[in-house]
Amino acid sequence: MNKNNILMFVLIAAVVIGFTYFSSKKEDKEQQPPISSTIEDVRIQDNTTEQPAPTEPEKANTPAPTTADADAPTTEPKQLTLAEQFFGTPRTAVNAGESLHEEAAPQIITLENEKIKIDFTTLGGQMLSAKLKDYHRFDNDSLPLTLFEKDAKFALLLRNRSGRAITTDALLFTPIYLQDGDKQSITMRYAHSADQYVDFVYTLSADDYMMKFDVALVGMEEMLYRETVDYLEMYWAQDQRRQEKSRENEQRHSKLIYKFQGDDVAELEADKNERKTVTEAPTKWVAFKDQFFATVLIADNQFKEIDVESKILLNSDKYLKTYAAKMYAPVVYNANSNTLKAGFRYYLGPLQFSNLQSYDDGIKDASQQLDLDKLVYLGWSLFRIVNKYFVIPIFNLLGSTGLSMGLVILLLTIIVKLLVSPLTYKSFMSSAKMRVLRPQVEELAAKYPKQEQAMEKQQATMALYRKAGVNPMSGCIPMLAQMPLLIALFQFFPSAIELRQQSFLWATDLSTYDAIIEWGTSIPLIGTHISLFCILMTVTNVIYTKFNMQMTDTGSQMPGMKWMMYLMPVIFLFVLNDYPSGLTYYYFLSLLITILLTISFRYFVDEKKLLAKLEANKAKPKKKSGFMARLEEAQRMQQQQMKNQKKKK
């Protein structure tokens, strides 16, 4: 095993282990009060608010009760509801048969199309549940996947000029259903009177995961608190359900993400509790996501300020995290209709890259694009570019053929290995050149056997390589050139929803681990199972390591590195055991093809002719490069310093 291959393995190990470490560590952080508690605080405040006591002059003007009045039965004054206290007048019925009692039973209204079914509740006029028809639960593939069901909350917080506040999730709305062609619309209306009401308008188009959501406050401009009349104060919270078999892998990809208006996205940490107030720039959308699905609230205009929070739920088997967001959305006032309006959209669906990217089709102004495709994590900038413009187009093209995902990954691996084979060949040739020069290197080692002669031996070896036209670093550069593609694929497979619930051979789901043995408790490093594709990858990696060490032995192997090279495949076993079987299947195929390529290179390369060519190079005049000249000068100065130190001793 030469230095180039050692460096390659060290770099790969450092990237994989470093990524896993920073993705899996847990940090405790002192938290602020949860955002969702604000709504409860307002309710408590309103429930405990008492009517002001009459003033002294009012008491003085109250007539004394007569005897007849004393004998008449006393009646308690009507207790005003929270909404009546907020609006300042008793509520009047607007629709025939409408109940004025807030404790009336809520109704459930449904909107659905070919892709999604959404239930709404009249209590708060908010979404109650969302189910995706084309996707199924990981633990029961006969049931549709549920994004949320009674575990999400939405409310507006309104403040009047008297300082009283009310939240809309405590109000009982009235549904108004409308069918307009292929669009379904439902208006949830809380009407305090004929000219004072709150409308939540939901519109769902056919064959789409995107739903329009509009808010209208009619007849309230004069009564709302002046500092809040220009924007809506919105509260949104959701307990993120566990949707995949591997909780650890899903937790790693579950994040609260938000996008700045006309700029890039930002996110809260996935591996710790975090809360952040964002005021430095307006935001376009806020997303609650897991590994493959997301609920996204998008402003037609922008949110001028947001306060977001993510908290890990460690003791829950059903939920991963709880997300919460407080958002301030500017409103537009229409004087003709005396209405305050704000528009939004909800995306409720899968994180399929091409579908998310399609929402920006036809939008040439980059500052106006939604960039929902950035919800699919594809690595840092360089790796994302490789995935976006190379890996995903090839993967989609192969997937469109109707082949199983196992065969798609096989073909993708073959294409990738063929494309990088020139680099692999160049690296092999660098090792082959040093291998055929090994007898001459051993002669130099015998000529300078002492430890204090190490510098002379190194200089003589470098001179030999220079005369033969061999650059020891030339094999490292091709390996480094392949790293962006290798890392990009490492990021691609865990984010590819196309692999979800796709079976191949013994793996029932290529988006998660393929356990052949499972046990009840978690064992340090290995977890609760052992994955078969991960074992095959490890065995193949050990074979490749042994084979490569034999094929590329140049005599320059560093002491103690042999056992380390065999240790690395074992480390990968522990690191990747919980990763998607599609990823470990790809690594298994990639290593297998690399072994075959190396064997073919060795078969076609005549080492006797290669040595003769190198010997012929020695007779040619060599122009010393500036780098080599500086390197030799540094070695000479170091050697001189060592001699001076010996003389002093």
Is residue 310 within 8 A of residue 256, CB to CB? The reply is: yes
67 lies in some domain: no
Q: In the Cβ-directed half-sphere of 349, how many Cα atoms lie within 13 Å? A: 23
Which of 498, 281, 313 has the alpha carbon at shortest distance from 399? 498
In a domain, 182, yes or no: yes
Residues 484 and 549 in one domain: yes
245-252: average pLDDT: 91
And the tokens for 546?
A: 């042994």
Tell me: pLDDT of 95 over 90: no
Residues 453 and 461: their CA atoms lie apart, in Å, by: 12
On whether both 328 and 421 belong to a single domain, the answer is no
Q: Determine the Cα–Cα distance for residues 508 and 301; give it in Å rounded to an integer.
A: 44
pLDDT of residue 11: 56
Residue 350 banded pLDDT, cuts 50, 70, 90: very high
The closest of 320, 321, 279, 319 to 303, measured between CA atoms, is: 279
pLDDT in tens, 391-406: 999 999 999 999 999 9
pTM (2 d.p.): 0.81
Is 21 in the same domain as 98? no
Position 174, amino acid: T
For the chain, the C-alpha Rg in angstroms (whole number) is: 34
The pLDDT tens digits of the residues spanning 517-552 come to 988 788 888 888 999 999 999 999 998 888 777 765
Whether 25 has a pLDDT exceeding 70, the answer reads no
Shared domain check, 215 and 149: yes
Determine the average pLDDT of the residues in 252-262: 94
Residue predicted with more confidence, 417 or 628: 417
Pairing of strands 165-167, 126-136: unpaired
72-76, 125-129, 562-566, range with greatest mean pLDDT: 125-129
**CATH number assigned to the domain comprising residue 117:** 2.70.98
Strand boundaries in 420-523, DSSP class E: 515-523
Report the distance separating Cα 99 and Cα 168, nearest Å. Answer: 17
Q: Are residues 306 and 393 in the same domain?
A: no
The Cα–Cα gap between 408 and 395 comes to 7
In a domain, 572, yes or no: yes
Whole-angstrom Cα distance, residue 407 to residue 582?
11
**The two structure tokens encoding residue 386:** 């490789």
User: In Å, how far from its chain's centre is CA 647?
Assistant: 62
pLDDT greater than 80 at residue 257: yes
Residue 460 has pLDDT above 90, yes or no: no
Could you say which of 347, 371, 403 is where a domain stops?
A: 347
State the pLDDT confidence band at 343, using cuts at 50, 70 and 90.
very high
Residue ranges with strand state E in 268-337: 274-278, 283-289, 293-303, 305-312, 319-330, 332-334
In which band, very low, low, confident or very high, does the pLDDT at 51 lie, cut at 50, 70 and 90?
very low
Residue 161 lies in a domain: yes
Do 343 and 406 fall into the same domain?
A: no
Query: Of the candidates 485, 484, 512, which has an alpha carbon nearest to the alpha carbon of residue 582?
Result: 512
* pLDDT at 93 > cutoff 90: no
Least confident of 179-188, 419-428, 436-445: 436-445
- b/e 520-534 (16+ beta carbons within 10 angstroms → b): eeeeeeebbbbbbbb
Range of the domain at 220: 85-242+300-347
CA distance readout (Å), 98 to 128, 153, 193, 519 = 22, 25, 12, 58
Residues 13 and 89 in one domain: no
Average pLDDT, the chain: 82
Same domain, 143 and 9: no
Flag whether 361 is in a domain: no
Question: Does 421 lie in the same domain as 331?
Answer: no
DSSP codes joined into one string, 542-584: HHHHHHHHHHT--S-PPTTHHHHHHHHHHHHHHHHTTS-HHHH
Assess whether 442 and 324 both reside in one domain. no
Q: Is the pLDDT of residue 104 over 60?
A: yes
Amino acid 63: pLDDT: 40
Instruction: Kindly report, residue by residue over 356-410, the tens digit of the pLDDT.
Output: 999 999 898 888 899 999 999 999 889 999 999 999 999 999 999 999 999 999 9
Tell me: pLDDT of 31 over 60: no
249 domain-assigned: no
Q: Which residues, in sequence order, are bridge partners of residue 258?
A: 266, 286
What are the DSSP E strand ranges found in 144-182?
144-149, 152-159, 165-167, 174-180
Mean pLDDT throughout 576-594?
A: 94
Please indicate, yes or no, if residue 614 is contained in any of the structural domains: yes
Of the two residues 258 and 462, the one the predictor is more confident about is: 258
- Average pLDDT in the 65-74 region? 44
Give SS3 for 101: coil
- What three-state secondary structure class fits 333? strand
Q: Is residue 376 part of a domain?
A: no
The pLDDT of 149-166, averaged and rounded, is: 89
Tens of pLDDT, residue by residue over 588-645, are 999 999 999 888 888 888 778 888 887 787 777 666 555 556 666 666 676 667 666 6
Instruction: Give the chain's domain count.
Output: 2
